[in-house]
Every structure is written in structure tokens, then in C-alpha cells.
Structure 1
Amino acid sequence: MEFTFIHAADIHLDSPLRGLEKYEGAPVEKIRNATREAFQNLVDLAIEKKVAFLLIAGDLYDGDWKDYNTGLFFISQMIRLHKEKINVYLIRGNHDAQSLITRELKLPANVFEFSVDHPKTITIESLQVALHGQGFASRAVTENLATSYPQKKEGYLNIGLLHTSATGHEGHENYAPCSVDDLKAKGYDYWALGHIHLREVLHKSNPVILFPGNIQGRHVREIGNKGCTIVTVKEGQIEQYEHHTLDVLRWEVCQVDASACETEQDVLDIASEKLEQLMNQSDGRFLAIRFRITGASEIHQKLIVEKEHVMNNIRSMALEVGTGDVWIEKVKIETSRKIDINELKENSTPIASILEFIEQIRNEPETVELLLAEFKDLQTVLPHELKTGEDAFDFTNPAIIEDRIKEVEDLILHYLTTKAGEVIA
């Protein structure tokens, strides 16, 4: 007997895509429903491939619903599968642990949720498959759930569903930790894991242990191809497993090396070329791109001073090249200056005196604390959007003064030197 099933995880249905700055011409409406469209793609795939069943290894939702529509949408998709006689088996993860998954809406008869109190085994007798799983009872589960899973059921294909950080992954909470050896000890044929948003195969065979990754990237730390895993079973054995793409919007980081650039237009030309390469690889998907402009460059100070101008020129270029299918998430100018600042300090010029004073501030913690005190009242009136995210202003943190000091140096070097880098007398 041969059949296929799908292993998916980390749907995060109706999770807002983060980090997408709004600006004129950005395709806001086109990407608002990205997680829903990716989930529809998952259901379409299950129907097209006539799979025996679908596994969802946690984080179907992104927390509690904001309204009933999230639950109604999920149920509508499950009914599509029900009509095709495809069952769905799911566990709760850390994000949907406390979510009222049904919110009093009855799930279709083809959807089975594993207990959050203890491991449970569900058998599919027609396929001789035994599914073992346990969901999260709370958001932060720190104990090793895998050790309490039952041993394999003899004569069946054994599959474990588990939401876990496994041995730990950067950027993910260390929930339900376990080792590969813990999982192998159960004697299962396949472990359907969830929680880690990057596809990763922890063990290639006997048993197969893998994270399929999430089905739709939600921010710039979740770049590249996203989807699920299709597994083929033949004569009671895992014959093969392969990734299948589902995402409708793809996040990418595009690095532009400005080290050889002499003008802003040179930077835009390189950015345009890089963007076209990414578009050719995207298979028609929308792209959300972060540009990182790097390298020791003659135009470093100009790029810093005219950051808004550079950013909006890149956005304009993206609108033209991408014909509306590209969103510039952010432009990070991370170039460095070619001017030897130590050499400038050695000259008897006004700029040398200013640079020496800035260096003095940098090396005196007491002065930094005084500056922070000056900004204390400003911190309380800053709008929320300026106090959150990676570029947030936090005037209680001395590090922000140190970062701004470098920007001040760049401004001085731009305005008080000539284009050739010579000090103004």
C-alpha cells in the first residue's frame, strides 16, 4: 500500500506581517492576507495530491483571535478537506496554547486535536498508522514532553507530533527541549516537529525527524522559500519526503556593496540589478526586501546625510522595476568612511578640535549619563512607534548615545570637508 501525507507547522493564521513600512505605492492590500493565502495553498495541495491526511505540528494561530473571522476561515478550509475525505491532526504550540481554538465554533468531524494534558495515540486502522502527540497546555512549556510519549505501536507506521525547540535554536524560545536521541528512543518512523520556522532535517532516516518551517515568512528574519513537507509511504515505510513551496510573499535581504561607488546613482544601479535577480528567482511572488548598503565608501557621509533621499529613490526604483510587486521593507545604510579620522585629529583645524571633543564625550561615562538625563523628558513623549523595533529610541540606554555620536561625526565630516576629503580651512 502506498499513500502520502503532508507535514506542516507554524501557520500563524492572520498574523500581521511585521516591519512593513507604509509609503505611497506600497502594495498593502495585496499582502494583507498572506498567511491566509498560504494556508489556502496548503489545502489546495492536499486536495491536488489526494493525501491521506494532514498534520499540523503547532501554532495554527498566532494567539487569541481578534474576532470570529479567523476561526471561520479555518473551518471553511477544513470543510473543503472534509469533502475530499482528508483528515487533519493537530497539536497546540506556544502561540496558540491559550487560544480558544474553536471559540465555541464546532470543528468539522475531520479535524482531530491532541490533548494538552498528556500524550495521546490516535490510530488510522485503514492505513495502519499510529499518531502520537501532545499539545502545549500553556505558552511556556519548559519540560521535555518527548520522554513521556509512548513507545511505538508494533505493526503500525508510527508518527510523533511535537512542538519543540529540540536542542535549541537562535531566535526561538527554548520550549519542550529534547535531543535527537530522545526522539529516536521511541522507535517511531517519523517525527513531525514544529516551532522552528526554518526548514531543518535533524535525522534523515529511521526515523525521519524534521522541521518543515513555517508556510509564510512574516518578517525579514524569515527569508526565502517557505512551505510544507510531503511524505510518501510505501509498504509501511517512509520512502521519501520533499519540501513544497506555499508562500505568497517572500522576504529577502539584498546587500549592495558601495565600496566602488562614486555617486548615489552608482548605488541605485547596483540595487536595481540585484532586485532584478531576486525577482527572477521569486517565480512571480511578491517580494518584501531589506536593502543593506555596505562597504568602505567615498560617499559614506553623503549616504548618511541623505538617507531619506536614498531610501525613497530605492523605493521609486523598486516600483518601476517591480511593477508594484515589490515592497521595500527598509533600507539600512551600513557603509563605513574611508577618511582617516585619526589623521584629521592630528591637524590644527577647527574640525580636529570638534572631533577631539566628541572623542572625549565618548570616553567619559559621566558625560553620557548627563546627556541621558537631558533627554529623560523627551523619552516620555516619544510616540510608541519610535520606541519599538530595532531602530527604537531608548534614552535610558547609554548605547544609544554612543551610536548617535558616530552619526554626529559623519555629519561633521560631510559638512566640514570638501568632496575630495580635504579639511576646510
Structure 2
Amino acid sequence: MAFRFVHAADIHLDSPLRSLALRNPELADLIGNATRQAFTGIIDLCLAEEVDALFLAGDLYDGDQTSMKTARYFASQLHRLDQAGIQVFIVRGNHDALSRITKELVLPESVKVFSGRAEAIPIEGAAGKPRVVIHGMSFAQPHAPDSLLPRYKPPVEGAVNVGILHTSLAGAPGHDPYAPCSVADLRATDFRYWALGHVHKRFVADGPCTIVMPGNPQGRDINEAGARSVTLGTIADDGSIRIEERYTSVAQFERTVVDASGIAEWRDLIATTAKAMEGTRASVAAGHLVVRLKIVGKTPLAWRMRSDLDLLRADVEHRAAAMGACSVEKLEIECHPSDAPPVSSGDPIAELRRLIESEIVRSDAFQREALEIGEELRGQLPQECRHLLGADEAGLKDFVLSLAQDGADDVLARLHAQAKAGEG
């Protein structure tokens, strides 16, 4: 008989989603609830597949979580597994180390929360199942700058050794280093499976040692776009391991590019945008699509799109609502006017564009001052929002200059609209 398990990580239950809430409180509420719904789906999967165990590789909560309502929900879901005879093995991640709930919550006896010292727990399974030993170690503090691997217990001879570890591996964009280690380091342990957590993007390394970072089961912003999942694993009688990816997203973020080249009528623009959203919606298995739209191309409507952005967004959101289970997270305009006059024509708006692009935005003085403003703004944002302005100084500079260019385009669009109205 095989030993079967589900491996999940980075649940971030009831994550506050402050960055999304700044733009769209209703959407933030949808995604905040989706993290809980996704976890319920994970429990449902365990029950439906009749697995032996659930591995949770850290970050159940989202920092200094103090809501006992969240705690009661989490405990109630684990009680469902306890009643079905399914064991749960949990390591605390960096976010969990901050949480008072993690330390005080009373859970069923079938739930093992690993301490800050390495432990190896043999599974007392039914006769005929492979002998499995679960190794784990939790974060005692929110920071772990050094590898935890040297502190894990050695593999138990004659057993299938499974390790649960919260780690940033060799590092990933947007993630600080936590308990860093390499794939080679993990393979050198002679464990058969490593259940990892921390990085919110799926990663799998096959071989004698199967290494899986499942990613988070529910994306929380556009930087976590795409399908989200957990891993269903099977350890066969001979010790071989087979894994399957199971999708868990309740709401899925996606980026969609709309080519508006040559479109001259507003209704055709809305129809083209709606068709692009419908195509994305058809490709998404999750119950709800959260889409970021980028409209590109040369079109006579480029000026109007910028000057009437609020109207364009209202029209697009209306079509998304009519489609059902679809929300527009953001609307970006990267169009250029197909009827823009050459600079040499003497058109004042064209001349102003040339001055802004060549002599203002690209000047050292402007870039220096803009960067200072950006750094000041980033320092005033909550920690979880700061990455929105770039991961480093170069990223911040690119973001600020892009913002300046967008602002210039918006001003020019309004001047163009006023000029057209004056001609009428």
C-alpha cells in the first residue's frame, strides 16, 4: 500500500492585502477571503484523495496575526482531517514566527508542529505501507540568515525520509534570504523528498531526491499571476515517489495585452478589449479572473484614452461585470497617437512633447529629484507595499521615470483634447 500526502505552503490566511486595498477595497476583500477558501479546498482535497498526511511548509499566517477568528477557522479545518485519521505536519516560517497564534493555538493530537529544534518523526502507518520518517524544524525567530540544513537529523536507514523546510533556496526576486541552501545541498542529505515553502512560485527538481516548492495556493496580487497549486504525492511500496500538481486558486491574476492598432471608434475599442478579456477568462480554471489590462498600439484614440481614462475604465469594468466572475485590477495605457504631427510642423503640443521627453525627463537634475521623491515615498509605505516601487535602486528609478512619462502623456492628452475642443 502506498503512502500518500498533500504538500502545501505559504497559505497567508486572511492576508491584509494593503497594496491592493489602496486601489480597490472590494477586490482586496475578494482576494483576502480567497486565501481562506483556497485552504478549505486543500482540506477538501486531502479528504477526497484519502491521503495519509498533509505537509504545511510554513507561513500559515501573515506576520503578527492576532485574529482569533482566523485561528478558530484554521483549527476547525485541521479537526476535519483529525476526524478522518489524516496526520498534519507543520513547520513555522518567518511570518509564523511573528504570530502569537502559532504558539498558543491548541490543535488536535494528530497535528505535529515542529519546534525550533530539528526532529524526526516516524509515521505509524498501516501494515504494508512504506516506512516513512518526517523531518522538520521551525523558525524560532522571524529571521534565519543561515542555512538550517546542518541542524537537521540524519536520514533514518531503511526508511523513506521526508524533510519539511521553509527556505528561500538560493534566493528569488522579491524574497529576502531565509535559511538559504541550494538544490545540491538538499540532495546531499539523502532524503527522498523535500517539502519546501517560502517562495511563492512553483519549482520542482526531480531525481533520486524530489524537491518541491509548491508556491502559494492563492495569488494575492498581479505579481503572483497564473495558476496556483499544491502537490499531491505518492510514495510507493518500493520507495519511489510520484507527484501531481493540483490547482487551488479561487481567484487568478492574469495580465492581458489588448492591441488597439488602427482602432478609430470607441465602441470598437471596448469590444476588442472585452474579447481579449473573454479569451483570458476562457483559459483560466479558477472561479474568478482578476485581470490587469494593457492597451497598446498606434490609434487615433490614444489621446482620448488618456484624457477619458475614467470613462474607459467604467466601460471596461461594465463589460467585465457582464461577463461574470471577472474583475479589472488595473488598466494601463501604452498607446501612441497614429495621427501625431511631426515635431517640425510647428504644432505646440508636439513641440512640448519633444521638450518633455528630450530635455526634462532625461535630464540628470529631474531624474535625481524624482528619485529622491520616490525614495521618500517608499519609506512611508508599509513594508509589504514597498516592492511596488521597485526591488532596488535601479528598479525604483525605472518606476519613477515610467511614472513621469505616463504623467507627461496624460497632460499632453488633456491639452490635445482642449485644443480639439477649441477647433470645434
Please report the TM-score for the alignment, with normalisation by the length of structure 2: 0.84
Report the counterpart of residue 119 of structure 1 in structure 2.
Answer: 118
Please report the TM-score for the alignment, with normalisation by the length of structure 1: 0.84
Instruction: Note the alpha carbon deviations across 1:110-150, whole angstroms, 9 max, x for none.
Output: 1111122x322111143521111111122221111123323
Instruction: Tell which deviates more after alignment, 294-303 or 268-277.
Output: 294-303
Return 5+ residue gaps in structure 2 as ranges. 391-395
- Counterpart CA distance in 2 for 1:43 and 1:328 is 30
User: SS of the counterpart of 1:97?
Assistant: helix
Change (3 A) 1:121 1:409: closer
Report the counterpart of residue 304 of structure 1 in structure 2.
Answer: 306
Q: CA RMSD in A?
A: 3.4
User: SS of the counterpart of 1:237?
Assistant: coil
User: SS of the counterpart of 1:177?
Assistant: coil
- Counterpart CA distance in 2 for 1:368 and 1:204 is 47
- Counterpart CA distance in 2 for 1:221 and 1:56 is 23
Contact 1:79 1:108 in 2 (8 A): yes
How do 1:19-418 residues align onto structure 2 when only pairs under 5 Å count?
19=20, 21-22=23-24, 31-102=31-102, 104-116=104-116, 118-126=117-125, 127=129, 128-201=131-204, 203-283=205-285, 285-322=287-324, 325-338=325-338, 343-344=342-343, 346-351=344-349, 354-355=352-353, 357-358=355-356, 359-362=358-361, 364-366=363-365, 390=388, 400=400, 403-404=403-404, 407-409=407-409, 411-412=411-412, 415-416=415-416
Instruction: Tell which deviates more after alignment, 125-134 or 398-407.
Output: 398-407
Of all paired residues, the percent bearing the same amino acid is 33
Cα shift at 1:31: 5.0
The amino acid across from 1:130 in the alignment is V
Cα shift at 1:186: 0.6
User: SS of the counterpart of 1:314?
Assistant: helix
Contact 2:197 2:215 in 1 (8 A): yes
Instruction: Note the alpha carbon deviations across 1:28-77, whole angstroms, 9 max, x for none.
Output: 76555211111111111111111111100111111122321111111111
Change (3 A) 1:305 1:71: same
Contact 2:254 2:290 in 1 (8 A): yes
Contact 1:56 1:91 in 2 (8 A): yes
Change (3 A) 1:265 1:60: same
Instruction: Note the alpha carbon deviations across 1:283-341, whole angstroms, 9 max, x for none.
Output: 4601211111123433222211111111111101111122xx22211111122344667
Instruction: Note the alpha carbon deviations across 1:84-135, whole angstroms, 9 max, x for none.
Output: 111100101111122123463322111111122x322111143521111111
What is the number of equivalent residue pairs in this alignment?
Answer: 404
Contact 2:200 2:224 in 1 (8 A): yes
Change (3 A) 1:298 1:389: farther
Return 5+ residue gaps in structure 1 as ranges. none
Contact 2:174 2:387 in 1 (8 A): no
Contact 2:37 2:250 in 1 (8 A): yes
